[in-house]
Amino acid sequence: MIGPNGAGKTTFFNVLTHKLKADNGKVLLCGEDITGLSIHEINRRGISRAFQIVNIFPRLTVFESLLGVLITAHKRNLNMFSRAKNHADIRQEAFSILEAVGLGERANVIAGTLAHGDKRRLDIAIALASRPKVMLLDEPTAGMSAEETVAMTELIRRVRDEQRVTILFTEHDMNVVFAIAERIVVLHQGRLIADGKPEVVRDNKNVIEAYLGGASVTSG
């Protein structure tokens, strides 16, 4: 999902997850109306979210950060956290997710000391821990170097393919958008102005005019 600053992208995410209440209309997930559900229930139904500002536990290790989320996802008693070493299934799942996002070798590092790109990876790992059907990523490459951006682009593609998760993401970097997206929707001033395959949206006159003031939308 792309659009100029203020187009309504984050607001749209907030409505999907019920952080903001919809004025009208419905939010459907696999045909189920989830419009009035709480944030917690929407997450349990299968929508998770990684934020533009990373949402991690800075004083815990990378492994502990994910372990706590998995204990909740498995509906285990949180008082069991100190004895989580006895739960081999959860520990194995945590390690598997960390491996999937490229943090397997950093499991014992304090989360708050990670580089920005690795914090984003951990945020995605936390979002994956609830076993989502749909994962929302809000500008996943924001603030990253060129090298980190390439690595994050590859990670998103790999998570989509290997974890079989539908990913809806907002992004300003057109190289990232056209490298990953199978479908692009474009918002402008809260309205949907385009929806389709990347090559179709790229040449859409309304998108060119609204998004770049007349300059063509390009990648590369």
Residue 214 has pLDDT above 80, yes or no: no
- Write the pLDDT tens digit of every residue in 15-63: 999 999 989 999 999 999 999 899 989 998 999 998 766 678 889 999 9
Residue 125 burial by Cβ neighbours in a 10 Å radius (0-12, 13-18, 19+) = buried
Rounded (10°) angle between helices 116-128 and 62-73 = 20
Structure-model confidence comparison of residues 211 and 125, the more confident one: 125
Q: pTM of the prediction? A: 0.85
The strand pair at 191-196 and 32-33 is best described as unpaired
State the SS3 of 64-128.
HHHHHHHHHHCCCCHHHHHHHHHCHHHHHHHHHHHHHCCCHHHCCCEHHHCCHHHHHHHHHHHHH
Instruction: Name the band, by pLDDT with cuts 50, 70 and 90, for residue 201.
Output: very high
Around Cβ 156, how many Cβ atoms within 10 Å? Answer: 23
- Write the pLDDT tens digit of every residue in 69-110: 888 777 665 554 545 555 788 889 999 999 999 999 999 999
